[in-house]
Chains A and B, each alone.
Chain A
Amino acid sequence: MTVTHPTMTETEALIVPDARAARHRHRRYLYRDGKIAYWLLLPAVVLLAIFVIWPAIYAAYLSFHDWSFYKAPEFVGWRNYANVLTDPLFWAAIGRGFVFVAMTVPPMLLLAFGFSSLVVAVSRHFASTLKVSIYLPTIISTVITSIIFVVIYDYSGGLLNAFLGLFGIDPVAWLGDPKWALLAIAIPAIWLGMGLTSLIMVAAMIDIPTEYYEAAAMEGANWWQKTFFITIPQMKNIILYLLVTGFVAAIQQLDLPLVMTQGGPLDSTTLPNLFIFNHFTNDVNVGYSIAAALLLFVVLGTVSALIFRFVNSERLVD
């Protein structure tokens, strides 16, 4: 029934050369689905408004207040932010976050690159087996992962120490030693994150035109040359994308240290999110925790918004 509208509007506009009325009609045509559209959007928008947008505004409001569950908010200006920024523990957590990123993201990208080079080189059947098995860990929860790795890392009866013992290496308290604990959490993080990273890389690698490799082979290029002069330059964008999303994901890691070590020993696994989470649950001064969360995530939110723009523009070109 709405289909008849355009023709009607056009003819009427021709007959009555009233520009204003025409524009009005045009508008009506343009927004012809208004009513039904709002009904369709209502549930999603209401849920987002109540559970995302309002909490975000409220968080911004509370970050300028001294408040706890027991008393009325009192405006304190930038004091919470100043407290966070002058807190050495906050900076230590951020620094630890960067160390954790360095431990997880580069190895994960290298492994994923090796994996996808392998996938494109083997038969289709083997390739799909590879893809399924690399993706399987991704669906396992961090709690179950933590349980598995805590048992593997056990000091006196764990698999890892028993294995190293075969080579005459003394047992290490992987999760009990501040020197090793962060690395011990990085391994399961890589295990969980490999699936998605690898498969995105495989998809990108398959997209590279085979003509490039054929031409290079004619010139006598070997595998290394093909990798460095064709594969990596062609995948520059996707590697950059994975690097940044890997960074954002790793620095926000919360569940693994929360379940495996609760941030210990000696705070050696208190990553930024866990630092904030511990403040939420222990500290009566809520403003501080919220200010810390906002500070950290204004930055990360900006980073993800930039990635999104980048990805979205690429997809539009596709």
Chain B
Amino acid sequence: MAVVAQEVAAIRRRPQRTTSWWLYAIGKTIVGVVFIVASLFPLLWLVIAGFKSKTEVISTPFQFFPEVWKWENYAQILGDPTFLLTMGWTFLGAVLFTALALTVNSLAAYAFARLDFRFKRTLWTVVITTMFIPGMTILLTSFIVVTDLGMLDSLAVLVIPGAATAAMIFFIRQFYLSIPSSLEEAAMLDGCGRLRIFFFLFLPLSKPPFVVMGITAFLAYWNSYVWPILTITSPERFVVQQFLATFRTGRGSSELGLLMAGSVLAAAPEIILFLIFQRQIIGNIKMAGLK
């Protein structure tokens, strides 16, 4: 009896492979491939152009692939000491920024999620309100503030001002709210103080929000352009986006292949980071998207 039922279920589950089923399946695959190609094509184009000679990137008659694949472009851009220095400083800055942002914001998130204190609601409202102040409104006054603090043209001006963000506090707090309080109570019965609970209970559990927020912070730093062009003036302290933009307006027209190779290298850390953590990032998109 049960066997028959199983077989019936199996037959039901198996799709009917009629002509229309095949057409539908092929159609879906084609549309899917079109999406993938459209989405990745500009990146593919960047990589191909990175192998072209000076004149080939933009040339008449048009050529899709380079005549000779010029690996020298990479050697040459990596041989540029400013480029390496820029990449190094940007990487260091991005790591520092990510670490600072995670520390500062997760501490605040823990306090807002778990602790009882006076003015909690008021403070929470104030913090959340900062989320709705668009960057453009405070761009100039922030510039005045960092000028007054003597932070211009330093790593500090890139790392410190943006570290605390309401969106990140909100996101991590949301995660901490979902941790059962019985865990915490058990720890308290064992005599753990609040700090110990945070460091030995909450931090080890924080990997999912930390991965998502950490990558968001890293990418935000790595991709930032407007704030650096306002606050960083010495070419040897440029961030990588600034370097690329200046390279384009300066030498770009004559060295396009080099610029493209540099752009590939500048995008590489982000792409590698994304491919390593894509599962967590995409899994969390619904939550992260709502920030």
Complex partner residue of B241 from A143, A188, A280, A286, CB under 8 angstroms: A143
Number of B residues, CB within 8 Å of A? 95
Nearest to A29 among chain B residues (CB) is B116
Segment among A75-83, A99-107, A191-199 that sits at the interface with chain B: A191-199
Complex partner residue of B285 from A115, A142, A199, CB under 8 angstroms: A199
Complex partner residue of A51 from B40, B46, B145, B195, CB under 8 angstroms: B145
Question: Hey, which chain A residues are within 8 Å of B164, CB to CB?
Answer: 43-45, 47-48, 51-52
Does B59 lie at the interface of the complex (its beta carbon under 8 Å from any beta carbon of A)?
yes
Number of A residues, CB within 8 Å of B? 97
Interface centre among B64, B136, B245, B285 (most CB of A within 10 A): B136
Q: For residues 113 through 127 of chain B, which have their beta carbon under 8 Å from a beta carbon of chain A?
A: 115-118, 120, 123, 126-127
A48-B130, A121-B28, A136-B271 as given contacts; A40 in contact with B111, CB under 8 Å: yes
Does B282 lie at the interface of the complex (its beta carbon under 8 Å from any beta carbon of A)?
yes
Contact A38–B117 (Cβ < 8 Å): yes
Cross-chain pair count, CB within 8 angstroms: 279
Bound Cα distance from A317 to B56, whole angstroms: 58
A47-B104, A51-B162, A280-B140 as given contacts; A200 in contact with B117, CB under 8 Å: no
Question: Hey, which chain A residues are within 8 Å of B191, CB to CB?
Answer: 1
Bound Cα distance from A154 to B256, whole angstroms: 12
Bound Cα distance from A32 to B193, whole angstroms: 12
Interface centre among A52, A129, A254, A297 (most CB of B within 10 A): A52
Nearest to A50 among chain B residues (CB) is B145
Nearest to A121 among chain B residues (CB) is B28
Does A259 lie at the interface of the complex (its beta carbon under 8 Å from any beta carbon of B)?
yes
Question: Hey, which chain B residues are within 8 Å of A3, CB to CB?
Answer: 185, 188-189
Complex partner residue of B115 from A40, A162, A293, CB under 8 angstroms: A40
Does B91 lie at the interface of the complex (its beta carbon under 8 Å from any beta carbon of A)?
no
24 A-B residue pairs with Cβ-Cβ distance under 8 Å, sorted by A, are A33-B117, A37-B116, A37-B117, A43-B108, A44-B104, A47-B163, A52-B138, A128-B282, A132-B275, A133-B36, A137-B43, A140-B223, A141-B266, A144-B266, A144-B267, A147-B248, A148-B263, A156-B58, A159-B62, A200-B290, A203-B289, A252-B134, A255-B226, A277-B136
Which residue numbers of A lie inside 8 Å of B, CB to CB?
1-3, 30-34, 36-38, 40-41, 43-45, 47-48, 50-56, 58-59, 62, 114-115, 118, 121-122, 126, 128-137, 139-145, 147-152, 154, 156-159, 162, 165, 188, 191, 194, 196, 199-200, 203-204, 241, 252, 254-255, 258-259, 273, 276-277, 280, 286, 289-290, 293-294, 296-297, 300-302, 304-305, 308, 311, 315
Known: A51-B145, A121-B28. 20 other contacts (CB 8 A): A33-B115, A40-B107, A53-B130, A54-B141, A122-B32, A132-B282, A139-B271, A139-B274, A140-B267, A143-B244, A148-B42, A150-B248, A151-B260, A152-B45, A191-B39, A203-B285, A280-B139, A286-B140, A304-B132, A315-B290
